Structure formats: structure tokens, C-alpha cells
């Protein structure tokens, strides 16, 4: 039946109307040979039944309700799953050019918001699977969960192949009410749920406030401050990465997972701390060529998924915080990042993610654009399969993800796979016009973090 977008999904869908904030996720899977194409098609067919939004399109609702997922009555799998020969020299750079274009292209709103392209005839006999989807479909962790339904031996990663799922009848995805009925039903349902929640929680809140008035005031103040840090205005850290455009470029890097873990262990931190420290180290080097900078404003997605959540939809929240450009010692920087990132995971605003998304979605577009534009970079760490997998008889060699910049200067996404961290950079070329210099410094930043342990 017709389903309303969650607040987070509706927000990410709405900001994509601005080409500078286009919310497209691009993933690249490098294979050792060409996969059996019909197997790939069957897997995506099954996947589109398992995650119904892959057969749906977004349609507007009457104000003030969010948009809805509605089944596409003309769904054509052949439009979404394609096969092409590798362009140009057929090497990785040629495929990355396709990924760059995919990151910049918009989706047809009359069709489901995803595409998958098998790229054959790469240099050395290899192949690739290039996928792109609108962020409203899912987040990074959800995308990994979805991709697991494509692999040949799902027992290795704890899921069933998409071609083996029970296919629901098409009628279960058809709207059962008139548009007026949907609006009334949703409005009444929301009001009833809100009233029920108030009735359940109000006695306890009043009793607690009566017994602990000072503590209640402090708690309310702390929550308000946390909400302000999450949604209030912020200034950017870097003055030299201020321009924004709709033009992107992408590049990749890879680091052994073990190397990042060992680097983090020196500072008593996590792989994510080493990852962020390497990015900041590279940025510090880059800014040394363009002028000094004291700190960077970073957005870090925090995963809120639990075992009962379906892979579709967004179950993350975006937390903004500042990371100092110094000190020079990578171990000290990792220690500082561990403290700063840990504080974000303890923010009281995490409990109000859906409410915040709904509220921000009602804000003027110019305010949203300015606040996202004041973010220097977005950094995502997404765990992928820990063991080797295959697709249509072809072994997966590497996986990379290019997440949207969402108005920031660049997005860097770490996608781990089989003991290797594949790192994808999606860069706004107006913010960073000297991309090759930027790339060299970022790679040097990773080398600097892991070098003492080699």
C-alpha cells in the first residue's frame, strides 16, 4: 500500500531539488571477470520485491503531510539494470568517470530512484557493477544490507539471496484509500499516536519534575542545548573551501583495515578515529599550501539502526562538530577525535532525530543551504562484508562508495571489505579546484597516520 516517507527520508528527498545538494549515493564494485548478466538481473528482480521502495516512486502529498512512496505501475526492470562495455581505455579511471557522471545526474521522478550498470570488457578481463540510488531510498549501512541480497553465497554474510525471498503480491503495494482518505487517516493516526504518547508519559514526567525540580530544569536545558548544537547555525572552519557548485569529481584510495586498527590502538581509539585523523591530517597539509586554518567543521552520520529495522529508509542522524587542525602528532589527534566523536554519540538530540528532521524540513531552503554549505566535509564509515563474496560467478575484488556532498566541500566514505578499507572521495570542484593536489595531500595524510606502524 502507499507509504509515507519518514521525516529523515522526506528531508533528504526535498533538499535534492537543489543540484548543489543532490542526494545521490554511488557505489562501485570491481569484479575479477564479467558476471552472468541474467543472474544479476534475477537478483535485482528479487531485491525489488524484498525492498518495495525499489519498485516505487515518490509522489507529493497534500500539505502538511510528507511525500509518499507509491508503486510504479510501469516498472521496467530493464530500464534499471543495464549492461555496457567499458569506455575509453577500460581502466579504473574510465570507470570512475562514469561514477562521477552518475553522482551528478538527477533521477526521473516518474520512475523508481535507482539504477545498476554492469560494465564489461575492463582492462585485464575485469568488470564492474556501478549502482546509484537516491539517498531517500536508504542510508549507507542500509545500502550494504541491500547489496548482500545480490551475492552468490549469502550464508557467508548471514542473509538470503534476493532471488529466494518470498515475493509479496502486487496488490499489497496498491493504495487502498482515496487521497482525501489518506490525508485524513494519516492526520488522525498521527494525532492519536501523539495523544497516546502524552497520556503514557505525562504522569511519570510530572512526578519526576515534582520530586526533582532542579534536575528536571537542568535536563531540559541540556536537551535544548543539544538540539541547538544539532540544528542551530554554525560557521565553517575553512575559509578557502567556501565556494559551492553542482560539479563533482571522484577518486579512490585504499588502506589495509589492519593498518588503521593498529594506528588507532596506539591512541586507545577506534578505526573511525584513525580514519578521521587521516582525513584531517591530509586537510592540514592541503591548507598549508593555501593558507592556515585552525579547525574544520565536519558532519558525521551516526547509525541508529537496530536488528528489527528493514534495510530501506534512513536510520542515521547527521551530527556536526569541530575538529582542530592541530596538533601535528597523529596519535594526539586521534585521541582528541576519539573524545569529540564520542561526545556526539552521547548527545541528547539523538533521541529526537525524526522530530529534528521534520522541523528542519519546514525551514526555508536558503537557511538549509547555508547551514549545509558551512560544513567543510562529511565523513562516513560503513562496514561491508568481512569475507570474500562473489556476484554472478565473478569474485568481488574491491568496493567503493561515493556519498553525496549535501552542500559540503567534499564527502569521504570508508567502505570496508575483506580486510581492505576502500575510501571514496566525492569532491565539489568549486570548493576544491586543484583536485590533484588535494588528492596527493589526502593520500599523504593516510600514509602519515599508518606509517609509524609499517
Per-residue pLDDT 10s for the chain (454 aa) are 568 898 889 888 988 889 999 999 999 999 999 999 999 999 999 999 999 999 999 999 988 788 999 999 999 999 999 999 999 999 999 999 999 999 999 999 999 999 999 999 999 999 999 999 999 999 999 999 999 889 997 554 444 343 333 334 433 333 333 333 433 334 444 333 333 443 444 455 445 455 655 554 555 566 556 554 555 567 778 989 999 999 999 999 999 999 999 999 988 899 999 999 999 999 999 999 887 788 999 999 988 888 888 888 888 888 889 999 988 788 898 999 999 988 887 776 666 656 666 666 666 667 677 778 899 999 999 999 999 999 999 999 999 999 999 999 999 999 999 999 999 999 999 999 999 999 999 999 999 999 865 5
CB atoms closer than 10 angstroms to residue 337: 26
Distance CA 156, CA 386 (A): 9
Q: Do residues 360 and 252 share a domain?
A: yes
Give a yes or no: residue 175 inside a domain. no
CB atoms closer than 10 angstroms to residue 418: 16
Last residue of a domain, one of 150, 179, 195: 150
Q: Do residues 262 and 145 share a domain?
A: no
Number of independent structural domains in the chain:
2
> Which candidate, 367, 386, 382, places its Cα nearest to that of 412?
382
For 417, counting Cβ atoms within 10 Å of its Cβ (0-12 exposed, 13-18 middle, 19+ buried), the class is buried
Q: Do residues 283 and 414 share a domain?
A: yes
Give a yes or no: residue 362 inside a domain. yes
Give a yes or no: residue 202 inside a domain. no
Q: CA torsion sign, 394 to 396 to 397 to 400?
A: positive
pTM (two decimals): 0.83
- For residue 235, what pLDDT is reported? 76
Q: Do residues 325 and 443 share a domain?
A: yes
Q: Do residues 111 and 245 share a domain?
A: no
The catalytic residue positions are 135
Distance CA 78, CA 115 (A): 10
> What is the 8-class DSSP label of residue 177?
S
- For residue 196, what pLDDT is reported? 42
Give a yes or no: residue 91 inside a domain. yes
Give a yes or no: residue 211 inside a domain. no
Give a yes or no: residue 295 inside a domain. yes
Q: Do residues 131 and 238 share a domain?
A: no
Domain range enclosing 63: 7-150
Please check whether residue 382 is in contact with residue 363, taking contact to mean a CB–CB distance below 8 angstroms. no
Question: CATH number for the domain including 382?
Answer: 3.30.559.30
Last residue of a domain, one of 129, 150, 171: 150
Q: Do residues 125 and 256 share a domain?
A: no
Give a yes or no: residue 194 inside a domain. no
Q: Do residues 419 and 295 share a domain?
A: yes
Question: CATH number for the domain including 36?
Answer: 3.30.559.10
Q: Do residues 415 and 266 share a domain?
A: yes
Give a yes or no: residue 31 inside a domain. yes
Q: Do residues 135 and 237 share a domain?
A: no
In three-state secondary structure terms, 232 is: coil
Q: Do residues 278 and 400 share a domain?
A: yes
Sequence-distant (6+) residues with CB within 8 A of 40 are 81, 116, 118, 129, 150, 391, 392
Last residue of a domain, one of 117, 150, 183: 150
Distance CA 67, CA 62 (A): 8
Residue 445 host element (H or E)? helix 435-450
Q: Do residues 142 and 22 share a domain?
A: yes
Amino acid at each position: 500500500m502507499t507509504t509515507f516517507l519518514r521525516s529523515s527520508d522526506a528531508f533528504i528527498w526535498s533538499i535534492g531539488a537543489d543540484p548543489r545538494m543532490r542526494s545521490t549515493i554511488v557505489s562501485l564494485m570491481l569484479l575479477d571477470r564479467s558476471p552472468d548478466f541474467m543472474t544479476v538481473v534475477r537478483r535485482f528482480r528479487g531485491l525489488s520485491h524484498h525492498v518495495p521502495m525499489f519498485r516505487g516512486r515518490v509522489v507529493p502529498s497534500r500539505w502538511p503531510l510528507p511525500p509518499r512512496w507509491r508503486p510504479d505501475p510501469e516498472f521496467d526492470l530493464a530500464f534499471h539494470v543495464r549492461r555496457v562495455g567499458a569506455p575509453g581505455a577500460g581502466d579504473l579511471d574510465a570507470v570512475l568517470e562514469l561514477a562521477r557522471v552518475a553522482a551528478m545526474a538527477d533521477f526521473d521522478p516518474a520512475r523508481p530512484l535507482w539504477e545498476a550498470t554492469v560494465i564489461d570488457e575492463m582492462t585485464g578481463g575485469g568488470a564492474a557493477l556501478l549502482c546509484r540510488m537516491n539517498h531517500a531510498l536508504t542510508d549507507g549501512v542500509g545500502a550494504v544490507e541491500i547489496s548482500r541480497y545480490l551475492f552468490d553465497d549469502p550464508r557467508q554474510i548471514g542473509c538470503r539471496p534476493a532471488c529466494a525471498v518470498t515475493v509479496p503480491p502486487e496488490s499489497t503495494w496498491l493504495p487502498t484509500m482515496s487521497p482525501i482518505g489518506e490525508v485524513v487517516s494519516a492526520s488522525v493516526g498521527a494525532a492519536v499516536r501523539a495523544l497516546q504518547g502524552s497520556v503514557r508519559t505525562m504522569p511519570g514526567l510530572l512526578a519526576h519534575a515534582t520530586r526533582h525540580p532542579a534536575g528536571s530544569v537542568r535536563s531540559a536545558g541540556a536537551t535544548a542545548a543539544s538540539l541547538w548544537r544539532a540544528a542551530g547555525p554554525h560557521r565553517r572552519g575553512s575559509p578557502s573551501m567556501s565556494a559551492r557548485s553542482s560539479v563533482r569529481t571522484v577518486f579512490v584510495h585504499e588502506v589495509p583495515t589492519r593498518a588503521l586498527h593498529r594506528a588507532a590502538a596506539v591512541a586507545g581509539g577506534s578505526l573511525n578515529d584513525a580514519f578521521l585523523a587521516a582525513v584531517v591530517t591530509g586537510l592540514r597539509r592541503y591548507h598549508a599550501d593555501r593558507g592556515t586554518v585552525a579547525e574544520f567543521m565536519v558532519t558525521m552520520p551516526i547509525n541508529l539502526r537496530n536488528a528489527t529495522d528493514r534495510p530501506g529508509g534512513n536510520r542515521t542522524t547527521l551530527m556536526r562538530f569541530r575538529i582542530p587542525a592541530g596538533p601535528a602528532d597523529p596519535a594526539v589527534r586521534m585521541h582528541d577525535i576519539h573524545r569529540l566523536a564520542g561526545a556526539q554519540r552521547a548527545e541528547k538530540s539523538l533521541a529526537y532525530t525524526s522530530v529534528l528532521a521534520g522541523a528542519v524540513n519546514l525551514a526555508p531552503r536558503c537557511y538549509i543551504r547555508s547551514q549545509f554549505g558551512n560544513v567543510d566535509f562529511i565523513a562516513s564509515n560503513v562496514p561491508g562484508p568481512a569475507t570474500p563474496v562473489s556476484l554472478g560467478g565473478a569474485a568481488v575484488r574491491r568496493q567503493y562508495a561515493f556519498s553525496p556532498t549535501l552542500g559540503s566541500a567534499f564527502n569521504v566514505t570508508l567502505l570496508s571489505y575483506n580486510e581492505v578499507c576502500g575510501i571514496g572521495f566525492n569532491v565539489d570542484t568549486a570548493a576544491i579546484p586543484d583536485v590533484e593536489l588535494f588528492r596527493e595531500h589526502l593520500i599523504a595524510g593516510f600514509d602519515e597516520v599508518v606509517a609509524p606502524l609499517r
